[in-house]
Amino acid sequence: MVFSSITFLFYFLPIVLAIYYIVPNKIKNLVLLIASFIFYAYGEPIYVFLMAFSIASTYILGILIDKYQHTPYKKVFLILSLILSLGLLIYFKYADFIIQNINLWLSQKIDLIHVILPIGISFYTFQMISYLVDVYKGEVKVQKNILKLATYVSLFPQLIAGPIVRYQTIEKELEKREYTIQNFALGVRRFIIGLGKKVLIANVLGELTSIFLASDEKSVLFYWLYAISAMLQIYFDFSGYSDMAIGLGKMFGFTFLENFNYPYVAQSITDFWRRWHISLSTWFRDYVYIPLGGNRVSRLKWIRNILIVWFLTGLWHGAAWNFIIWGLYFGILLIIEKLFLLKYLQKLPKIIGMLYTNFIVMISFIIFNGEGITQIVENIGGLIGIGNVPIFSQESIYYVKSYAITLIIACIGATPILKNTILQEKAKKLQNIAEPIFLFIILLLCTSYIIDGSFNPFLYFRF
């Protein structure tokens, strides 16, 4: 089940909200847990049992780590939990990728397993690992109520595509939550904005990128149109989902941390990764980079630490070499910036830094979306006319005109221009009147688009 579906918007969510607010506080977590399992089972019934097993093992191992907190056994139980959690992730997500590479590099003929990837396994696995590590370090209290732990892991607003919610972020809210009309209204507002970003912008740009990939009439203009559309599509797709997750969290009394902060206004790659997929980058910082020694080691070890983190970041996104290349691409650029480039970038006009960052990011998403090295090289080379492609064609001009409005809206929406304007004192009164009408129109347009049955995938479901 996806948020941008009629089933979710007009059946599942209203029913769950109605039941949730009718029942007493003491069973609200149970309602959320049942709803979350139904939500997950709607798409993958069999893998509900896998998630239930993961939750049960996390609960037991968390209890054991806490029980033996002051003995050497706590490390044994932590290692066991990591082997179990990462073992399941590796099997379901990377088994065939590993076999393919063994066959390729060692000339073997091992049959592929063809295992189906459970939706959201990367997200809920990382949440369970962060919980157990924090219990091990004594940063959070062990949760002895399995219902509350299961609610944390399976919470449907962020279950299948994040953001990665740390246990310590909602630890208190699992025990007691405050419900106000204001917070609920903020949640609805945030959800509708996220839905609009996903359905009205990301989906439309997704159609354009699909048209490009299917076209036999490429041109330099068309390559640039594809590259810009692809980077805007993935931003509005994923940030739109994060907005919806944060909005749903507020409706149910939870406060999730922000996952995006206008990354396309960043003036360096270092700044970009402080703004993009914040929950993932901070997870790798706290649970991989710092334990490896961070930057408090020799320069060679520091470079090693960054490359390990970004190799794993790329691999986390998918079982394919283009994702690994994508991760290492950013890792190398971050090393270069931190060694010398960043101090020069900071002296340049802001617009230069933004152009540099967005060009680098645009190339990265060509790598990210590539179906093999040949296609990646072709799509990057096409930006400068390699391959004897024309500068423009009638087809490319047609699509520029057809999607110009969406692209302009996307470019503006990817910056804080509108937000800063709306927050001006003079605009507040107008905002109070116009915003409900504006949100209703967005919801109406999204509903019409969804009913039409158009292109409607979530890119991050594959992670």
Give dist(CA 376, CA 320) in Å, integer: 13
Helix (H) or strand (E) segment spanning residue 65? helix 47-67
Token reading at 462: 């594959």
Mean pLDDT of 400-424: 86
Give dist(CA 295, CA 99) in Å, integer: 35
Q: How would residue 418 be classed by pLDDT, with cut points 50, 70 and 90?
A: confident
- Whether residue 68 is predicted with pLDDT greater than 70 in this model: the reply is yes
260 and 242 Cβ atoms separated by less than 8 Å:
yes
34 and 45 Cβ atoms separated by less than 8 Å:
no
118 and 47 Cβ atoms separated by less than 8 Å:
yes
Question: Directed axis angle between helix 373-381 and helix 350-369, to 10°?
Answer: 150
Q: Which residues of 349-360 are buried (b: 16+ CB within 10 A; e: fewer)?
A: eeeebbebbbeb
Per residue in 42-64, pLDDT (tens digit) is 877 899 999 999 999 999 999 99
Q: How would residue 425 be classed by pLDDT, with cut points 50, 70 and 90?
A: low
- Whether residue 460 is predicted with pLDDT greater than 90 in this model: the reply is no
The residues spanned by each domain of the chain are 6-176, 183-267+346-462
What's residue 433's pLDDT? 73
Name the pTM for this structure. 0.91
Give dist(CA 32, CA 4) in Å, integer: 20
Per residue in 189-240, pLDDT (tens digit) is 999 999 999 999 999 999 999 999 988 888 999 999 999 999 999 999 999 9
| Alpha-carbon distances, residue 225 vs 200, 315, 370, 408 (angstroms) | 18, 28, 16, 12
Give the catalytic positions in this structure. 317
